[in-house]
Amino acid sequence: MQIESNIGQGAGRANDDDIPEIGVGMLGYGFMGKAHSNGFRKVAYTFWPPPAVPKLVAICGRSGRGTAETARQFGYSKYYTDWRDIIRDDEIELFDNSGPNNIHADPCIAAAAAGKNILCEKPLGRNSIESRDIWDAAKRAGIRHMLAFNFRFVPAIALARKLVQDGVVGHVYHFRGQFLGNWFLDTKAPMVWRLNREAAGSGAVGDLGSHVIDLARFLVGEPASVSATKRTFTRERALLNEPSKMARVEVDDAFEAVVEFKNGAIGTLEASTVCSGRQMHLAFEIDGSKGSIRFNLERMNELEFCLADDEPKEVIGFRDAIVTKRNDPLYDRWFDHLSQHMFGYEGTIVNEVYHFLDCIVNRRDVAPHGATFEDGYRCAVVCDAILESCESKRSVEVDY
Amino acid sequence: MQIESNIGQGAGRANDDDIPEIGVGMLGYGFMGKAHSNGFRKVAYTFWPPPAVPKLVAICGRSGRGTAETARQFGYSKYYTDWRDIIRDDEIELFDNSGPNNIHADPCIAAAAAGKNILCEKPLGRNSIESRDIWDAAKRAGIRHMLAFNFRFVPAIALARKLVQDGVVGHVYHFRGQFLGNWFLDTKAPMVWRLNREAAGSGAVGDLGSHVIDLARFLVGEPASVSATKRTFTRERALLNEPSKMARVEVDDAFEAVVEFKNGAIGTLEASTVCSGRQMHLAFEIDGSKGSIRFNLERMNELEFCLADDEPKEVIGFRDAIVTKRNDPLYDRWFDHLSQHMFGYEGTIVNEVYHFLDCIVNRRDVAPHGATFEDGYRCAVVCDAILESCESKRSVEVDY
Amino acid sequence: MQIESNIGQGAGRANDDDIPEIGVGMLGYGFMGKAHSNGFRKVAYTFWPPPAVPKLVAICGRSGRGTAETARQFGYSKYYTDWRDIIRDDEIELFDNSGPNNIHADPCIAAAAAGKNILCEKPLGRNSIESRDIWDAAKRAGIRHMLAFNFRFVPAIALARKLVQDGVVGHVYHFRGQFLGNWFLDTKAPMVWRLNREAAGSGAVGDLGSHVIDLARFLVGEPASVSATKRTFTRERALLNEPSKMARVEVDDAFEAVVEFKNGAIGTLEASTVCSGRQMHLAFEIDGSKGSIRFNLERMNELEFCLADDEPKEVIGFRDAIVTKRNDPLYDRWFDHLSQHMFGYEGTIVNEVYHFLDCIVNRRDVAPHGATFEDGYRCAVVCDAILESCESKRSVEVDY
Amino acid sequence: MQIESNIGQGAGRANDDDIPEIGVGMLGYGFMGKAHSNGFRKVAYTFWPPPAVPKLVAICGRSGRGTAETARQFGYSKYYTDWRDIIRDDEIELFDNSGPNNIHADPCIAAAAAGKNILCEKPLGRNSIESRDIWDAAKRAGIRHMLAFNFRFVPAIALARKLVQDGVVGHVYHFRGQFLGNWFLDTKAPMVWRLNREAAGSGAVGDLGSHVIDLARFLVGEPASVSATKRTFTRERALLNEPSKMARVEVDDAFEAVVEFKNGAIGTLEASTVCSGRQMHLAFEIDGSKGSIRFNLERMNELEFCLADDEPKEVIGFRDAIVTKRNDPLYDRWFDHLSQHMFGYEGTIVNEVYHFLDCIVNRRDVAPHGATFEDGYRCAVVCDAILESCESKRSVEVDY
């Protein structure tokens, strides 16, 4: 349906020859749909000149009213309530799937078949089989695909990867990753789709653990095996729209896993939604033969680094580096607007969108800096192994 | 001059009756000009519905080419190389002065006379006399005016003010404020306008100290007297465009001041540009009869707070609170796009722009949450008192 | 053999009726032997009046010369080179076994049979069978026994236990404990007894993991099962006295374990000797339904605590409490000499020695604040379960 | 008077030829008297072989009963209630004055005249004139004298000095020192001698500021001038022994000062007794042309250090070094008992006592590592300049 007002249209009608336009169709108008929409609007001028100017063609959601309002807010020309309309819309070259996990597979597979490039929210599917199907469809279609593991675009995390890859930390001995929050600590917090097995696939494992696993793979390499346990601490929650009715929580509030990596490193993977004082505690530690690294998303502008043989010897210790400097890896243009100031979560999405546009327009590989659907599949395999180990009480090998 | 392309036009041609447009004219296309332009583009959809949709009418800078390119980047319809053209442009209702300190007075006074509302970068003038002139002009014209002390819009700082105002910290005994960085530690860093007395007025005092002083006034109240000293550690620097030639550094690299407040509190005000490992260390501590507060801009999402009589008694200490929660003061809409994620410097500008638009459209007072030109003048009086004390070696009273 | 000099005799010949003497015999004159000897000397005046004045009767070591010198240093009246002489010495009522792990069993069992009270360094035995033998001997003899899990006497850890026991953190969901250091990161560090399976039993598991396990049990409760993996990163090291010869490292440099507790909590247990920048990083986190706790031995005077429902709500976060206050649990007398100053590792041993003397003289139970040989046995069972899980690649139940 | 019991006699009657005895007389049996007594007892075996074995001859206090009990606790052979008895006692070669500030001058001057070496608690006198008298008496007598600025013996502070002296931080630009606590925040805390001008001389300036000034001089060099202000926030307090009666608080609760150093550095000196959440916050920052240092006594085992040109460049930041390693400056023997464990306040006193004994027996200079009475005098001159500036509202030059 045509939007009557185009207030807030992000990128104007480019009549400039050298900056191409690219038509964007968005599925989802919740938090992630808005965060991505902001990314598409900002990319047009944040990186200058941009690889392409995103044209916000259409946004799709279940509620016509909410979707229309979001279209107006962000400047989408049209809105739909059936995702198939996005697939059918020829103006759309880039399909952004920011919907819940259970509507990742069908729309993505259809979009791939229609030849659209796809940016999909994580996790790719609700399990490894569904994820494999999506990845296979993308491969078959030969489109460009990217999974929104946006934290790869935190400068401090990109720097951590560079330090590992350049050999500065030496041979990796340990990786410990965790994602802790207090989101479900309140037993009176209502049931949401993330706690529903049909909609979400799993709980902390798929939602939070997937970020930890992706960072483990991005920074250290492939896991070889996992041994895990999980818990659902609050087994019933009130329905959001019918608070007098209780629904059973079918997914995990938390998991703990030991992990062995193919390169010999050992460590832990954990996630929990019941930790007081934790807001967005996606944190990792890497210990290597020459040095160690620490990171916490709550202090996303900082990377801690210790060189085992640092000089002067008397003052060896973790250096607390603020990673907003111009010489930080890959981020020259990023800081054009920021000088040396602190940046926030929002920027990770903007940079992710930039990366995908750049890959599409300039025919670059999304990997290794961006996550592909293959990364999404591999992450799902590790999630499944964790869940299997929770049941079997045995170490489970990661077998892609 | 008319821009040929309108790529990146932030806010579309609103044909919607209930959201008014407001014409914006920008002076300066450097870091601050871009940061403010981004603010005007984002405000149209970040807060929904916005009080007004900014219409980016024109941008003005000395270099025609650079200005034209920035106009194209951000979607300004026109660009000028003479600021008087902005004053003459009737489409412009809001004049944003993001130029260097020495072109604050004349354009602001002219814009006020022309009845335009003004958002001006800090410091207001190069000294208290110039600042008074600008404020007087704005008062005379009856326009709305705001000084870009953007850190007032850091949620953690707004929360600090709330804790003081609500009496949670009790009677204030101490305020210690500092702004430390390493920007001029490198003696080979070239001469820039910030180090030139004619362009900047003063060095660390006006550029950095003004932020510290504004926070002192915003959080604790009016200073009564100051005793200070300053230093220029590197007395000569190479010219930016002619590196073989050296120029004399006429302004201070650092200052230290003791401050007495009208309410009886005592403390320190300091700024330095030669501190290793400091990137944007705008930090303060407030000690009161009931509790204490600590803040550091490098960890801008955190506020530390200690309640003297906290319970349980055995675990009294500074609480490290992450201030990105929905119930944080005044910031409900702010976090619509952020959930509980970390936010960055950029957001302070967006929120500042939102505040000014809201004040203009809805006829609200810029103060106390926003800084007015009166705040800019008062801040300049304190800066002058600091500089005078450095010379006279005596305590100097702050006399507005 | 009689010591010729009594320089440094800690506790004089008490001729005071109301403070009894207690004869002490020490096995080991290395780091731990000295640390305990210092404890016996200090206890006589640190806690005033002390429950008993330790009389340093004899010290025993393999090297006659080194032992004699240490006897002279600390004021032992006699020294021996055969531990059986300590057992035979009727002046000795309290046997302190500070020797390496492989000489814990025989001397302790003999001392128990001889009716001496025993303070033994951790771990109790090299495995659970040996540990059980020692505990059984002590039980049979009816003597008082204490295992030197000295970190139970860190005031911040005692406070953590109190907060859990008082219900302040609510139902426990998570315990994560780790002991990280950089002791064996240097591949050129020589072979020491701690890396020899015969002498030490195991590596990181028994030496460091035992502290983590004891704190888990002390703070949270009994483990139900563990799933673990371990690594020896440096497989050969030069002999200490013959650097041209290499010896095989038979024990683990590091382990990682997932743990399930009987009360439903889940978490991790880890230890590693190859972590740059870690010096004595014995750290734990406890997350409960009402709050969370964090501790790190490198900052042993601090306990971090977060109350989920803290007031004011805007500033909820981890409180960083310095635990050297007079009202801290059980430590009134401790701080008589310290006011509110920081205290160190040494004090944990002094307090441990005080506790044991107090239990002996005043016929109090060593548990629950002090660790008994039963605690040592239970800890060894968990260590064995971890080692078994590393081999079997399965979850292993903890079965006391 | 002869003590009936010698329980707890620290150092036995050495009959060993090569370790001399030295007779100690102590004035004061409060916190500091006990802390020093502990130092004398421990030094006999902590550093082995010790330069001398302290013989605890006599302790002196106003209360016969309290003094006798403390004598018994620590093993002093005699106790006195008139300090002149200590001066007259020929067994005493080392006079330790741990009494309040107002009984520093007369006993110290008399002890010097009697040829006794003197260890005196800080501050030396209640002002610079009294301090000068004491120093002059010591010089005249040719005795060895040391002022108990014990924090010079914190390993991390000794390391800070080494880094400055070795040129690692370059030319010093800034020194900021502060001593913050919450000791007098409670307005109901009673009157104590530290708040009485007659007994104490001044408040925060002399008691806490003296530590800050001594560290400034120890680490950075001589102050040239100060500008200061001070406050007494609670003007009346109940008498300790007669709570219904209020006494006027005549001394400062807090002061703030700007300082200029002779070497061109500028900075701040501050102390306050009304800061929530501060327990023993004696902290300093040094910024130099090559690097920066930070320290906080509440984390006394850590020194933070940032090298401006550190490598790799991407991870420049403050290193958090734990200073308990064997290669730390001057402290080889210190850690004999501590391995790499954390140490506490107590150790600073033990090391201070060791240093003085070593200087006496081995005829070494107390300075520069230890503070002499000259340091005490110079510190008092700076305190007086601060107090004078508070009155005159001018910058006051430091003139020794």
CA distance B384 to B390: 10
How near does any CA of chain D get to the CA of B298, in Å?
Answer: 12
Determine, for residues A5 and B13 on separate chains, whether the beta-carbon distance falls below 8 Å: no
How far is residue B170's CA from residue D276's CA, in Å, rounded to a whole number? 11
Can you tell me the distance from the alpha carbon of A83 to that of A68, in angstroms, rounded to the nearest whole number? Answer: 14
Mind spelling out the 3-state secondary structure of chain B? Answer: CECCCCCCCCCCCCCCCCCCEEEEEEECCCHHHHHHHHHHHHHHHHCCCCCCEEEEEEEECCCHHHHHHHHHHHCCCEEECCHHHHHHCCCCCEEEECCCHHHCHHHHHHHHHCCCEEEECCCCCCCHHHHHHHHHHHHHHCCCEEECCHHHHCHHHHHHHHHHHCCCCCCEEEEEEEEECCCCCCCCCCCCHHHCHHHHCCCHHHHHHHHHHHHHHHHCCCEEEEEEEEECCCCEEECCCCCCCEEECCCCCEEEEEEEECCCCEEEEEEECCCCCCCCEEEEEEEECCEEEEEEHHHCCEEEEEECCCCCHHHCEEEEEECCCCCCCCCCHHHHHCCCCCCCHHHHHHHHHHHHHHHHHCCCCCCCCCECHHHHHHHHHHHHHHHHHHHHCECEECCC
Residue A209 DSSP class: I
Structure-block tokens of residue A9: 């249209």
Nearest CA in chain D to B186: D289
Sole residue written with tokens 């009389």: C55
Q: Label residue C48 by pLDDT band (50, 70, 90).
A: confident
Q: How many helices (H) and strands (E) does chain D have?
A: 11, 17
**Segment holding C385, helix H or strand E:** helix C373-392
- Subunits next to C (3 or more Cβ pairs <8 Å) are A, B, D
Q: Say if the Cβ atoms of C310 and B317 lie within 8 Å.
A: no
For residue D22, give the DSSP letter: E
Edge-to-edge strands, sheet with B145-147:
B78-80, B53-60, B21-27, B94-97, B117-120, B145-147
Interface test with D, best of A161, A293, A307, A314 (most D CBs within 10 A): A314
Neighbours, chain A (3 or more CB pairs < 8 A): B, C, D
d(CA C297, CA A115): 57
Which residues pair with residue C285 across a beta bridge? C176, C294
The three-point CA angle A147-A149-A150 to 5° equals: 120
Please report the pLDDT score of residue D16 as a whole number: 52
D13: phi then psi, degrees, rounded to nearest 5? -75, 100
Backbone angles phi, psi at C111, to 5 degrees: -65, -40
* List of residues 6+ apart from B149 with CB closer than 8 A: B122, B210, B211, B214, B218, B371, B375
Q: Kindly indicate the confidence band of residue C338, based on its pLDDT and cuts at 50, 70 and 90.
A: low
Shortest distance between the Cα of B318 and any Cα of chain C, in A, equals 5
Site of tokens 């600390």: C74
- The whole-angstrom distance between A311's CA and the closest CA on chain D is 9
Structure tokens at B247: 């120029």
AA identity, residue A271: A
Question: Whole-number mean pLDDT of chain A?
Answer: 92
Query: How many beta-carbon contacts under 8 Å exist across C and D?
Result: 149
Q: Do A314 and D325 touch (CB under 8 A)?
A: yes
Q: Tokens 């160690």 label which residue?
A: A292
The pLDDT tens digits along chain D (400 residues) read 555 433 333 333 334 558 999 999 999 999 899 999 999 999 999 888 899 999 999 999 998 999 999 999 999 999 999 999 999 999 999 999 999 999 999 999 999 999 999 999 999 999 999 999 999 999 999 999 999 999 999 999 999 999 999 999 999 999 999 999 999 999 999 988 888 888 888 899 999 999 999 999 999 999 999 999 999 999 999 998 899 999 999 899 999 999 999 999 999 999 999 999 999 999 999 999 999 999 999 999 999 999 999 999 999 999 999 998 656 555 555 545 566 888 889 889 999 999 999 999 999 999 999 999 999 999 999 999 999 999 999 999 999 9
Q: Report whether pLDDT(A326) > 90.
A: no
Give the DSSP letter of residue A208: I
Q: Which domains does chain A have, with CATH numbers?
A: 21-150 (3.40.50.720), 152-392 (3.30.360.10)
- Contact state of A291 with C276 under an 8 Å Cβ cutoff: yes
Q: Distance (Å) from the C-alpha of residue B316 to the closest C-alpha of chain D?
A: 7
Position A1 confidence tier, pLDDT thresholds 50, 70, 90: low
- Could you report the per-residue pLDDT of B70-111, keeping only the tens digit for each? 999 999 999 999 999 999 999 999 999 999 999 999 999 999
Q: Is the pLDDT of residue C140 over 80?
A: yes
Note the residue count of chain C.
400
ipTM of predicted complex: 0.94
Chain D residue with minimum CA distance to B268:
D256
**DSSP letter string, A306-348:** EETT-SSGGG-EEEEEE---TTSTT-TGGGGGTTT----HHHH
| B266/D254 CB distance under 8 A | yes
Residue D319 is nearest to which of A159, A316, A329, comparing CB atoms?
A316
Shortest distance, CA D397 to any CA of chain B (angstroms): 11
Q: What is the pLDDT of residue A7?
A: 36
Is the model's pLDDT at A332 over the cut of 80?
Answer: no
Query: What's the token pair of residue D378?
Result: 């110079």
User: Of the candidates D7, D14, D341, which has its C-beta nearest C44's C-beta?
Assistant: D7
Q: How far away is chain B from the Cα of C345, in angstroms, using its nearest Cα? A: 21
pLDDT at position B17 is 56
**Tokens 């548990």 identify what position?**
C367
User: What letter does residue C383 receive in the DSSP assignment?
Assistant: H
Report CB contact under 8 Å: C6, D12: yes
Average pLDDT, chain B: 92
Q: Which of D301, D323, D351 to mutate to test the interface with C (most CBs of C within 10 A)?
A: D301
Could D229 and B264 be called an inter-chain contact, meaning their C-beta atoms sit closer than 8 Å?
A: no
Q: Are B319 and C310 in contact (CB under 8 A)?
A: yes
Q: Is there a contact between A45 and B338 if contact means CB atoms under 8 Å apart?
A: no
Calculate how close chain B gets to D181, using CA atoms only, in Å. Answer: 11
Are the CB atoms for D7 and D75 separated by under 8 Å? Answer: yes
- In C, minimum Cα distance to A180 occurs at C287
Q: What is the pLDDT of residues A129-150, one digit of tens each?
A: 999 999 999 999 999 999 999 9
Residues of chain B neighbouring C320 (CB-CB closer than 8 A): 317-320
Q: C170: alpha, beta or left, given left = phi > 0 and alpha = psi -120 to 50? A: left
pLDDT of residue B326: 59
In which residue are the tokens 């807001």 written?
A: A279
The answer to whether C41 contacts D45, with C-beta atoms less than 8 Å apart, is yes
| D185 to chain B: closest CA residue | B289
List the one residue out of A295, A321, A297, A370 whose CA is nearest residue A118.
A370
Distance from CA of D194 to the nearest CA of C (A): 15
* Stated length of chain A: 400
Per-residue pLDDT, averaged over B132-152, amounts to 98
Measure CA D220 to chain center: 18
Give the span between the Cα atoms of C349 and C26, in whole angstroms. Answer: 14
Q: Which residues of C touch D19 (CB under 8 A)?
A: 7
Alpha carbons D153 and D99: distance in angstroms, whole number: 21
Q: For strand B236-238 and strand B246-248, is the pairing parallel, antiparallel, or unpaired?
A: antiparallel
pLDDT of residue B82: 97
Confidence class for position B5, pLDDT limits 50, 70, 90: very low
Tell me which of B12-26, B164-178, D5-19, D53-67 is least confident.
D5-19
CB-CB: which of D159, D319, D328 is closest to A319? D319
Q: How far is CA B366 from the centre of its chain?
A: 14
Residues of chain A positioned with their CB less than 8 A from the CB of D322: 317
Spell out which residues of chain B touch residue C327, defining contact as CB-CB under 8 Å: 313-314
Q: Tens digit of pLDDT for each residue in C340-355?
A: 888 889 889 999 999 9
DSSP C176-242: EEEEE--TTTSTTSPP-GGG-HHHHSSSHIIIIIHHHHHHHHHHT--EEEEEEEEE-S--EEE-SS-
